């Protein structure tokens, strides 16, 4: 990983705004930015001299006034010299500034990779890995529920629990290595094999349990996907709009109107948010476009957390959706829905087959269906949210530690036992606060946006 170059990125949100920010970090960040400033401006000298504070400068390309904020390291966000240019929030202007800075840097500056600012903060000790996970979760959040889940990625509980396990493994490793040192003395046994295995199993089981309670870490970073499926003209698009409580999908009596999976965030009772998906109707593919439509429908169903199996109340209007829908074997929970119950007077009623009767035209039964979806989402959420303290990266590290302990239980040679314990201890140390290796950083920070 290149940690010597000055990295630059637009750190303000995409699009036009009153103010835009170009951020730089690196040992020569201030000098690099000065190369793109008017040297006759008083503020440029302050930036070149790394004076902490806000300085008024004038840029050369384009020739506009700006504010330069200087934050010398190590007391900065990344632990390196950091500097920002605050100017008009025009995306074209911000890109021109970055291009000009890089062009005048003689190869000392480049554009930042996704998450590279946070990588440098972690490597310099300015940000713990758990805080970086929260940043990643916030960046990937699409709804208020996902932002709330990101705030649940706490630090102390996970670090304290893992530190206790690491201390136990370190003790066992010391005993095993002591046994290796005294292997020529038969009367010295640092730790008997049964006792070692029992203590290792106890630590491994605690780690596995912690991973299990945090198994919702990845899914909590996204809202549940609720997919409407069924035969063409089964009333899916009309029900989709009714559930959203505004028109998003085109409604038509013609078959095959929906040709792609349409997604939209939907708020449900209890503050629950889901991603509602209107999938193309399931039918026999005749033309090439039909094949693509069916592929979209199958993909949406396979990715669904909850599947609304839509079947109209009048069976002779469409094929039987239950027979044609490929929901068998899908991972999502299926909820049967009767659509087009406009004239039957039983909308909102659950029939003998467990299907909820609805009418998108009158709105009857829609509230009951929204409540049923909310209950299904709540049932699949992690129950012990106070224990939901690990992000994806740390869960992966804990699983690697548990795998190393499993391996240790299958081998007899003391040297190999010690190596397996050392591997587990390294992974636990990374979770409890040690600097993670580059491959772990890459796995975590690949999801970051450029300016973080």
- Three-state SS for 337? strand
> Collapsing DSSP states into helix, strand and coil, what is residue 321?
helix
CA separation (Å) from 182 to 40, 173, 414?
Answer: 73, 14, 12
CA pseudo-torsion sign 163, 166, 168, 170:
negative
Question: What local confidence, expressed as pLDDT, does residue 389 receive?
Answer: 53
CA-CA distance, 157 to 423, in Å (whole number)?
A: 23
**pLDDT of amino acid 387:** 42
Question: What pLDDT is attached to residue 168?
Answer: 87
Cα–Cα distance measured from residue 177 to residue 180, given in angstroms and rounded to the nearest whole number: 5
* CB-based contacts of 155, cutoff 8 Å, min separation 6: 128, 130, 131, 389
Query: What domains can you pick out in the chain, each with its CATH number?
Result: 6-112 (3.30.1360.120), 138-216+387-445 (1.20.120.430), 221-380 (3.40.50.300)
DSSP 112: P
- Reading the block at residue 435, the tokens are 């600097």
Query: If you ran DSSP here, which 8-state letter would residue 280 be given?
Result: P
Q: At what angle do helices 129-140 and 116-123 cross, to 10 degrees?
A: 170
The phi, psi pair for 345, rounded to 5°, reads: 75, 10
Element of type H or E holding 86: strand 82-89
Q: Do residues 33 and 67 make contact, with C-beta atoms less than 8 angstroms apart?
A: no
Whole-number pLDDT of residue 361:
83
Residues of the chain with pLDDT under 70: 1-2, 129-130, 133, 137, 139-160, 181-190, 213-222, 248-260, 283-291, 314-332, 343-353, 380-392, 432-452
pLDDT at 237: 85
For 187, other C-beta atoms within 10 Å of its C-beta total: 5
Helices 438-445 and 392-408: angle between axes, nearest 10 degrees: 140
Q: Is 226 exposed, middle or buried (0-12, 13-18, 19+ CB in 10 A)?
A: buried
Pull the structure tokens for residue 426: 């390294």
């Amino acid at each position: 990983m290149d940690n010597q170059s000055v990295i630059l990125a637009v750190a303000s949100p995409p699009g036009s705004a009153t103010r835009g920010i170009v951020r730089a970090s690196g040992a020569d960040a201030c000098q690099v930015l000065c190369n793109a400033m008017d040297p006759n401006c008083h503020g440029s000298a302050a930036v070149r001299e790394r004076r902490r504070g806000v300085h008024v400068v004038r840029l050369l390309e384009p020739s506009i006034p700006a504010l330069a904020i200087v934050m010398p390291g190590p007391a900065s966000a990344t632990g390196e010299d950091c500097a920002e240019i605050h100017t008009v929030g025009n995306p074209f202007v911000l890109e021109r500034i970055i291009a000009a800075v890089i062009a005048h840097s003689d190869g000392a500056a480049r554009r930042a990779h996704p998450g590279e600012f946070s990588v440098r903060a972690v490597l310099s000790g300015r940000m713990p890995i758990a805080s970086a996970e929260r940043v990643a979760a916030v960046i990937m959040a699409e709804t208020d529920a996902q932002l709330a889940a990101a705030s649940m990625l706490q630090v102390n509980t996970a670090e304290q629990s893992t530190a206790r396990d690491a201390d136990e493994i370190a003790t066992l490793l010391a005993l095993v290595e002591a046994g290796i040192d005294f292997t020529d003395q038969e009367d010295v046994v640092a730790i008997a094999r049964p006792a070692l295995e029992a203590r290792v199993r106890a630590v491994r089981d605690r780690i596995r349990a912690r991973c299990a309670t945090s198994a919702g870490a990845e899914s909590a970073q996204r809202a549940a996907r609720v997919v409407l499926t069924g035969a063409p003209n089964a009333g899916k698009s009309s029900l989709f709009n009714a559930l959203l409580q505004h028109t998003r999908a085109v409604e038509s009596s013609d078959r095959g109107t929906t040709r792609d999976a349409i997604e939209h965030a939907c708020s449900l009772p209890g503050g629950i948010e889901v991603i509602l998906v209107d999938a193309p109707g399931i039918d026999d593919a005749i033309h090439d476009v039909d094949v693509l439509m069916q592929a979209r429908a199958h993909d949406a169903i396979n990715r669904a957390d909850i599947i609304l199996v839509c079947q109209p109340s009048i069976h002779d209007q469409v094929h039987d959706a239950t027979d044609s829908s490929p929901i068998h074997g899908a991972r999502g929970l299926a909820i049967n829905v009767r659509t087009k119950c406009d004239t039957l007077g039983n909308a909102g009623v659950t029939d003998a087959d467990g299907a909820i009767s609805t009418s998108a035209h009158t709105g009857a039964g829609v509230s009951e269906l929204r409540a049923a979806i909310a209950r299904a989402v709540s049932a699949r959420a992690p129950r012990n949210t106070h224990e939901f303290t690990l992000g994806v990266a740390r869960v992966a590290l804990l699983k690697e530690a548990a795998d190393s302990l499993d391996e240790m239980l299958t081998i007899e040679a003391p040297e190999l036992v010690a190596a397996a314990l050392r591997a587990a201890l390294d992974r636990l140390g990374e979770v409890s606060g040690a600097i993670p290796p580059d491959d772990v950083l890459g796995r975590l920070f690949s999801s970051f946006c450029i300016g973080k």
